[in-house]
Amino acid sequence: MRRRETSGSGIGFNPRGLSLRSKLVVEFGAVIVGIMALVIAVSTFGVPFTEYIGSLGYEKSVVLNTLGLIADLKKERFELWLGERKDDVTLFSESINIATSLNDLLALIQRVSPDGKSPDQFWTQLTREPSYELLVQRFSQIIAAYKAYQKIQIADPSTGLIVASSDEKSLGLNVSGNPSFDKALKSTREVAVDIQLDPTTAHPYLIVSRAILGPALKDTATEPLLGIAMFHIDADAYLKPLLHTGITLGPTGDIVMVDQDSTILMSLKFPLPDGTIPKPLEYRIQALPAMMAARGQEGVTIADDYRGVRVLSAYRGLNIGPNQNWGLVVKRDEAEVFAPLWQGVLYTCLVGFSALLIAILLVVLVANRISGPIQDLSRTAREVEAGNLEVRAQVKASDEIGALAGTFNSMLESLKERSSEIERTNKELEAFSYSVSHDLRAPLRSIDGFSQALLEDYYDKVDETGRDYLKRVRASTQHMGRLIDDLLKLSRLTKAEMRPEPVPLSDIVTKIIDSLKKNEPDRSVECVVEEGITVYGDSYLIEIAMENLLNNAWKFTGKTPRPKIQFGMTQKEGLDVYYIKDNGAGFDMTYSDKLFGAFQRLHSSEEFSGTGIGLVTVQRIIHRHGGRIWAEAEPNKGATFFFTI
């Protein structure tokens, strides 16, 4: 018999199944998260080796495009503006009136101080000269027309001294050595462009300068160099706005202008990482975009700028003059550009993840709604299995499971009724067999007793035949007595409660054989008992079964010359099978199906006494243990009874 397991076998949910379900949920979640991540990754970064560049790539190209357009715009604007300034100074320098006035002025200066050295008064006096006033007037006109000009001045080419200026304080200053002066001096007809720092304010100034040539002399046909005109423009005040207005580059956007050496020509928006502010005309940018622009290259790139920050930039060369190129860089921080993108990805992930969590929650809820009642049902079933017939399943839902629970309950109800019915019947049976045993025996006793009395007291009055008859009467009554006993035993078997425990089968067999030997000491029977066999069952019932089987073996070897009884264990089809084998009378296998029928006998009572109940008892006991019993035999060779428990 197998030990009854109570841990939810059969219809119940295996408690381990709950965590299996959580495992499923986790795996499901992981798959979904994986898919989401893949989709987001692909949509953001695109698919490698294909044309799909994702939203990141798209954003990049859009921004770079825009920066390029802005750079083109600014370049054009600046070059246009510069062209106008060049034109202004050219027009001025080629004006005959200017040349005439300047000539007069210079002649005056020559006369008054031939060696070039002059006291302060001299300059003050000079300002009252009509030629001077004419020039200054012209200066004012120009400044009035375009307020960008901070200062306009003319320098004497031979001495380098400022001989006329819109700012009186500059008079007399020596500008030889100033690149604007030198360059204009050298190239005569070309406008020189330079940005310099004002010595007092350290502000950057754009200076456009040109040589003023007089009318050609009659004899040499060369135009005399009369002076160098220098037009000053405040770069920060006018150049910067020119570049920055009209477009929005965002909080991290900046436009940088550098000269051919990649030195910045204007102040920058952001300081260096260490906090210092790069000084215009001092700081030289070594970052890629600026350097490309300084070399006059044109393009877009994503590279680190002068701060080491990764930027998207467009760079252009600025045509300043022959052999003079400045550079322009329009840039935006990569982080700022892509910030909205990353934000979008983040929100997508958050939304997706929350949706997933909600989905899982719903799934779990729904699953619980379904599994809850099922678990309750199986729990109830388990309790019923354990013996509790009062318990009922909960009927909560009105769906199929609810219907099942309802049906289950009514099944339990009828089970309970049936069970009490059976109990009642059993009790009745018990009472019946009690009275049977008692009431049937009394008359039997009378019959036997009086037959014996007759035999003893009227011995001489009864002849041989009579005595024989009486003997038969007695034999029958005793037989009947034994039958009643056996029947009673049999009936008690079905009602007796089984108390399962480990039963030492070998020991029991040995004990029975010993008592058989003791009862009939003059019989020598060879007995072989396999040691150490234990089974699981009711020890009382198993003992009765063994008694019956061994009694039979003992009885049916009564006429065998060398009787041998064996008890052991073997394997048949993977199961443990126990057997009791004897070499006694055996029986014809053709009648084997009658073997276990109550009162059926395969031998006459002359050969072997017996009621025929013994094997029925054994079979019933074996069956109660959930086992099987069968026999194999041959007439006069013996019989073997096999059984499983």
Partner 1 sequence: MNKKIILLVEDNPDDVTLTLRALKKNNILNEVVIARDGVEALDYLFGTGMYEGRDTSVMPVVTLLDLKLPRIDGLEVLKRVRENERTKLIPIVILTSSKEENDLINGYSLGANSYIRKPVDFNQFSEAIRELGLYWIVLNESPPVVK
Which residues make up the interface to partner 1 (CB under 8 A)? 434, 437-438, 441-446, 448-453, 456, 474, 477-478, 480-481, 488
Min. distance of Cβ 622 from partner 1 in angstroms?
24
Q: Count of alpha carbons within 13 Å of 198, Cβ hemisphere only? A: 15
Return the number of the residue (282 or 457) whose C-beta is nearest partner 1: 457
Q: Are 229 and 92 in contact (CB under 8 A)?
A: yes
Min. distance of Cβ 579 from partner 1 in angstroms?
32
Min. distance of Cβ 463 from partner 1 in angstroms?
21
Min. distance of Cβ 469 from partner 1 in angstroms?
16
Return the number of the residue (453 or 528) whose C-beta is nearest partner 1: 453
Give dist(CA 121, CA 124) in Å, integer. Answer: 5
Min. distance of Cβ 452 from partner 1 in angstroms?
4
Min. distance of Cβ 548 from partner 1 in angstroms?
18
For residue 308, CA distances in Å to 52, 117, 271, 301 come to 30, 53, 11, 14
Min. distance of Cβ 451 from partner 1 in angstroms?
8
- The sheet with strand 162-165 has its strands ordered as 162-165, 149-155, 225-234, 204-213, 192-197
Indicate the SS3 state at residue 571.
strand
Sorted by sequence, the CB contacts under 8 Å of residue 9 that are 6+ apart come out as none
Return the number of the residue (477 or 619) whose C-beta is nearest partner 1: 477
> Would you tell me the crossing angle of helices 130-145 and 54-94 to the nearest 10 degrees?
160
Buried b (16+ CB within 10 A) or exposed e, 142-169: bbeeeebbbbbbbbbbeebbbbbbbeee
- For 149, phi then psi, to 5°, come to -70, 115
Give dist(CA 510, CA 530) in Å, integer. Answer: 10
Min. distance of Cβ 615 from partner 1 in angstroms?
22
Measured in whole angstroms, how far is the alpha carbon of residue 123 from the centre of its chain? 87
Return the number of the residue (108 or 440) whose C-beta is nearest partner 1: 440
Return the number of the residue (477 or 617) whose C-beta is nearest partner 1: 477
Residue 160 — left, alpha, or beta (φ > 0 → left; ψ -120 to 50 → alpha)? left
Return the number of the residue (213 or 480) whose C-beta is nearest partner 1: 480
Which DSSP symbol is given to 120? H
Give dist(CA 512, CA 532) in Å, integer. Answer: 16
Return the number of the residue (269 or 445) whose C-beta is nearest partner 1: 445
Q: Determine how many CB atoms are found less than 10 A away from the CB of residue 602.
A: 21
How do 526-529 and 564-572 pair as beta strands?
Answer: parallel
Min. distance of Cβ 552 from partner 1 in angstroms?
23
Q: In sequence order, what are the beta bridge partners of 569?
A: 578
Return the number of the residue (415 or 453) whose C-beta is nearest partner 1: 453
Min. distance of Cβ 441 from partner 1 in angstroms?
4
Sorted by sequence, the CB contacts under 8 Å of residue 536 that are 6+ apart come out as 1, 3, 500, 501, 502, 503, 645
Q: Which DSSP string corresponds to 55-113? A: HHHHHHHHHHHHHHHHHHHHHHHHHHHHHHHHHHHHHHHH-HHHHHHHHHHHHHHHHH-
Return the number of the residue (392 or 492) whose C-beta is nearest partner 1: 492
Indicate the SS3 state at residue 269.
coil
Return the number of the residue (343 or 435) whose C-beta is nearest partner 1: 435
- For 161, phi then psi, to 5°, come to -90, 145
Min. distance of Cβ 420 from partner 1 in angstroms?
22
Return the number of the residue (472 or 523) whose C-beta is nearest partner 1: 472
Min. distance of Cβ 557 from partner 1 in angstroms?
26
Nearest partner of 231 among 208, 203, 204, judged by Cα: 208
Return the number of the residue (97 or 478) whose C-beta is nearest partner 1: 478
